[in-house]
């Protein structure tokens, strides 16, 4: 979900360095997940080079750290053993919105990296070890819309007693 950005977006006074992140464990991957939340990609932007054991994905990343801008970035996983998708569009130009990444350890140091997308689809990457790099690869540009996250149900709200409803 997104909302229109009001007014003109001004560039930050100090230049913002391109994002460069490395993940070698689940905690590192959570930092990458936060940075890539609401990134947009197309299935054609996902490239698995089986013989090189790498998976590379290009994203249009919303820059939460500078607000109101987007930038192209690339993420590459090394030591990839297998890649599987579930409920993702096969249309190469479909738009996918990344919600989060997670790492599920298996036999140390291996595991499964799960990329979760809006609409319930996901991409599972089986890795011999977690080795992921993210870097910005373009100049920033003004975003037309800012991602928004609707609040879910208030889990702390008192529950209504169905038998005594007013």
Q: How many CA atoms within 13 Å lie on the side-chain side of 60?
A: 17
Token look-up 């819309």 returns: 145
The model's pTM is 0.80
Give the pLDDT confidence score for residue 96 in this predicted structure.
97
Give the pLDDT confidence score for residue 151 in this predicted structure.
53
pLDDT tens, N- to C-terminus, the chain (166 residues): 444 544 444 455 567 899 999 999 999 999 999 999 999 999 999 999 999 999 999 999 999 888 789 999 999 999 999 999 999 999 999 999 999 999 999 999 999 999 999 999 999 999 999 999 999 999 999 998 888 766 544 444 444 444 444 4
Q: Which helix (H) or strand (E) holds 157?
A: none
In terms of Cβ atoms closer than 10 Å to its own Cβ (0-12, 13-18, 19+), residue 152 is: exposed
Query: From the centroid of its chain, how far is CA 106?
Result: 22
Give the pLDDT confidence score for residue 147 in this predicted structure.
84
């Amino acid at each position: 979900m997104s909302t229109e950005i009001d007014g003109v977006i001004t560039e930050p006074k100090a230049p913002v360095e391109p994002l460069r992140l490395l993940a070698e464990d689940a905690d590192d991957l959570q930092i990458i997940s936060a940075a890539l939340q609401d990134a947009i990609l197309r299935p054609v932007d996902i490239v698995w080079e089986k013989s090189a054991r790498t998976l590379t994905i290009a994203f249009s990343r919303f820059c939460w750290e500078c607000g109101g801008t987007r930038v192209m970035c690339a993420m590459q996983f090394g030591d990839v053993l297998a890649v599987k998708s579930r409920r993702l569009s096969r249309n190469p130009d479909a738009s996918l919105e990344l919600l989060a990444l997670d790492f599920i350890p298996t036999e140390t140091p291996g595991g499964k990296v799960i990329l979760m997308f809006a609409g319930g689809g996901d991409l599972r990457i089986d890795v011999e070890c977690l080795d992921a790099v993210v870097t910005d690869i373009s100049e920033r540009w003004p975003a037309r819309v800012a991602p928004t996250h609707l609040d879910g149900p208030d889990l702390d709200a008192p529950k209504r007693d169905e038998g005594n409803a007013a």
